[in-house]
Structure 1
């Protein structure tokens, strides 16, 4: 398939569908129901295509989910980290990250919580490859933050005895907890309070 258009068979006649739009709809379903909780019927109904068209355009369910994860990284809460890393100080990075995460997790236009966190929590043995992929992506995000904090330490922005790896793990634990809280109905203000309390523990 080239471009964002794909072909769907409909009543014996081919018609085009927008693959980007279909992928966005698949992402929404995965985000709301999790990988294992999403059936092929759920996907085809949401995307407005039949199974042969889904297979032709996106491969199987697992491949579609990985494509949806890539889209999620571009548009979902994953973008919060990329924006925060550009801040001038380590404290600024973390403060903006927590604020951005609180906003993203409670965006009324999206399902509650974080796809990467919720998806890994609900994956069973049959979907171990998906669980490992989600864990890998979360680990990569933590590594990006750790590298940024290490640079802050090297530049004297963090104390010489600060541990970038432990600080990155602390922040990741807070954001993952915020995701679980958001999925359970916590408001944006609730998450802002969590972020504020986390920043009180940040080294001066």
Structure 2
């Protein structure tokens, strides 16, 4: 399955959750699924519930199905609880770090910043959004990257409050990882155990 490029607000309504990594737009009053039957109470199957939780992660972090499956396998092999480790691995992607540091309005935009080499990772330009950050790593923007209109706007008004696991130097426009993020610091509600159960019978 390829990376999602369709209507963002529509998919958030279908999932019933605002995904800050996907869009800055709020659900507002139309916080029910799209379509003519969206306001009717429809009971979801056990499979449907688990699928929705998995889709929240995949869409918020802008991953393909193949990418999230690979992360799940890695999380499953670790000594930590699978669900918690999976969330940590997702939060530790470079593109997500760029987003959470306030350099981009969404994770989607952060990915583009990285791909176009507007991000300096530990002082060097990189173009791989999946680079895994570690404590002590720093990021900043290139001179050209700092002039991008969406970046200027986001720096003035970040989409989210910067998390406690990074420190931000406003004068230098530099963000540093102070520790690895915890599973409870994901910026949207997700029942990760449902995701674990979804993949347990498929991987």
TM exceeding 0.5: no
Larger Rg: 1
More helix by share: 1
With structure 2 as the length reference, what TM-score do the two structures score? 0.26
Report the TM-score, using the length of structure 1 for normalisation: 0.26
